[in-house]
Amino acid sequence: MNIHAGRGVAVREYPLEWREGADTRSGSADYLLYADGWAIGVVEAKPAGHTLEGVIVQSKRYTEGLDEHVPARYRPLPFAYESTGEVTQFTNGLDPHPRSREIFTFHRPEELLRQQDLGSLQLRRMLRKMPGLPQGRLWPVQHEAIANLERSLAHARPRALIQMATGSGKTFTAVTACYRLIRHAGAKRVLFLVDRNNLGRQTLNEFQQYRDAGSAYSFAEEFVVQHLRGNAIDPASKVVITTIQRLYSILKGDTQYNPANEDDSLFESGRAPGGEPAPVEYSPDLPAETFDFIVIDECHRSIYNVWRQVIEYFDAFLIGLTATPSPQTIGFFRNNVVQDYSHVKAVADGVNVGYDIYRIKTKITEEGGGVEAGRYVPRRDRRTRKTTHAELEEDLTYTANQLDRDVVAPDQIRLVARTLRERLFRDVFPGRTEVPKMLVFAKHDSHADDIVKILKEEFGKGNDFCRKITSKTTGASPEDLLNRFRNSYNPRIAVTVDMIATGTDVKPLECLVFMRNVNSAGYFEQMKGRGVRVIEPGDLRKVTPDAKDKTYVDAPKWASADSEPSRWQSGQVLSYVRPLDAALYWPRARMVFVRSDPNRTCGLSGPPSCTGFSDPVLLTVCPYPFLASCCQISRQRTLLSLLLSPPAQAAARTR
């Protein structure tokens, strides 16, 4: 037997002896593992389907039964595996409280030697010795989140979820936690998974700017932070930022990956190539022990349906970040929510601003429409957008769900745009003359093109006024356009599909326009979060000169705050408006609905009833948002909602 035949050698059916009380027992380990000629661990093999928890005692006995003449640095042997070939679990006997955990496959000999050489500096030991967390620049919610996370890690809980409202500094919190894990716990490497490539650049910037109070260097100067643009991981890297798409490409053995594929959010749809769960096999170029921690940004998505195998490939702690966890997300993180900081709390703390909702409805969006046979109508190719004219041979009837997908009604888009223009400075931003920074969510790229064209016409502005920012934008990169939208006067309006729907930080944004269905309450909360971030008034005026601050729309002049029921206090949830589940805050909230039926009235007694107009759309004002059901709001999903931002209740915070 040549135990030096390779860096790692497994010897089958190795005889061992151990003591049980006064008796001596003997048996054979299915495999004795050697690394660099030193005995280092055992493997107990069982047939497929055999449960493994009951085998742990047997493996432990084998680690204690090594003959004294066999070279080994630790006795008992430090590492034990139990495996059926389909399921494998591992116990590190050098941990403070050795506990088996399921892993994708066996560690490389190099990794076992590294862990053995750590001795008392084992990761799980160091996590129990983390120094106290100074308050420093951390907000209270951030300090609490990191402290709770470190407490969870000290108990070796493999997964933890941080729920923090949009704008409350999740990324800064995660960067601070990563620094402490590397600096104080000796983490080998941290993987930071982002939703899209532009969020990766945003995260890289956060790492580059971070500076610990006890260090003279920035994070990126002290440790190597790598934002993957190729498919090779720098061996010296301490933090690797990438998308799960590129990570899967590396696992498959691809040498290159098209960056354009990272511009769209696969997290949102949960899509994988072919629509099936991503098959994962062992990759020698990216072994399972590559990372000690994986931070999963925007982890509320349906990624677990098809991408779960990619995440669980690694033998690492999982840390999730989200503002809107679903029950499935909480379940994935084993109900270990270490921080729960909702939008309501964030508004009360002045970390977020609240919002108001305006609704514009048209007859077509409510009921659909039709075109009589015999008319010549334009037909547009979905791919090329080339238009031809043809006579309808049969009557065409279409539903609201077919609008802008099978049937395009430009006048409907125009009516919404015109209503928006007419009401913007009269009802939504009274006293203002500059169009506020506005983000419009379209159904798809072609729909976005139609919206951009019509908005420019209705507002009487040029090309710089309104721009489309999607993965199909050419001439300027989406990132460049986004930076202009964030930091420059123009564009005033950006139209997107999903690219800016989540994670992206545009603090001067004051108005969100939904011209699409939102099928997920969680996704709506994420989209809404683009507009609720606080900003210093001076910074806001740099891009919107006539804005005083991100303010809240006052109640109509004939409905004072005193007329509201006294039980509703500032910061409380007043109502949930279905199906968007849009929470309305503060007693002076109001809702404005633009719709097509002049016969539907509020029916409230006491305050003025809803007033109508004779133009093609009817403006309805209800001073009591928590009695919204009295207004017979349609349960069909809203075509267009404007979310406005009330002032922060505490000093403005700008992270």
The pLDDT tens digits of the residues spanning 609-637 come to 333 322 233 223 333 233 233 233 332 22
Higher model confidence: residue 652 or residue 452? Answer: 452
**Mean pLDDT comparison of 225-229, 391-395, 469-473, highest-scoring range:** 225-229
Query: What's the token pair of residue 48?
Result: 């497929």
Residue 94 has what pLDDT?
96
CA 527 to chain centre: 11
Segment 222-226 shows an average pLDDT of 97
Q: What is the pLDDT of residues 412-425, one digit of tens each?
A: 888 889 988 998 89
* Nearest in space to 635 (alpha carbons), one of 581, 573, 574, 575: 581
CA 74 to chain centre: 44
Residue 638 has what pLDDT?
28
**Mean pLDDT comparison of 198-202, 384-388, 548-552, highest-scoring range:** 198-202
**Mean pLDDT comparison of 184-188, 364-368, 503-507, highest-scoring range:** 184-188
Query: What's the token pair of residue 512?
Result: 């969100």
Number of neighbours of residue 397 by Cβ within 10 angstroms: 11
| Residue 449 in this model has a pLDDT that exceeds 80 | yes
Segment 479-483 shows an average pLDDT of 86
Higher model confidence: residue 319 or residue 197? Answer: 319
Question: Looking up tokens 């590559």, which residue turns up?
Answer: 290
| Residue 330 in this model has a pLDDT that exceeds 60 | yes
The predicted model scores a pTM of: 0.73
| pLDDT band per the 50, 70, 90 thresholds, residue 303 | low
Give the count of alpha carbons within 13 A of 107, CB side only. Answer: 29
* Nearest in space to 209 (alpha carbons), one of 167, 651, 201: 201
What stretches of 493-588 show up as alpha helix (H) in DSSP?
521-528, 537-543
- pLDDT > 90 in the chain, percent: 46
Beta strand 293-296 with 337-341: parallel, antiparallel or unpaired?
Answer: unpaired
Which of 389-403, 533-547, 603-617 shows the lowest per-residue confidence on average (mean pLDDT)? 603-617
Distances (CA, A) of 322 to 170, 246, 296, 301, 422: 8, 21, 9, 9, 37
Residue 427 has what pLDDT?
85
Distance CA 97, CA 81 (A): 16
Q: What is the pLDDT of residues 348-378, one digit of tens each?
A: 888 878 777 777 776 666 666 665 555 656 6
100-107 own/partner pairs: CB under 8 Å, 24+ apart: 100/52, 100/53, 100/56, 101/158, 101/315, 103/288, 103/315, 104/280, 104/282, 104/288, 104/312, 104/313, 104/314, 104/315, 105/282, 105/288, 106/43, 106/81, 107/287, 107/288, 107/289, 107/315
Beta strand 88-92 with 79-83: parallel, antiparallel or unpaired?
Answer: antiparallel
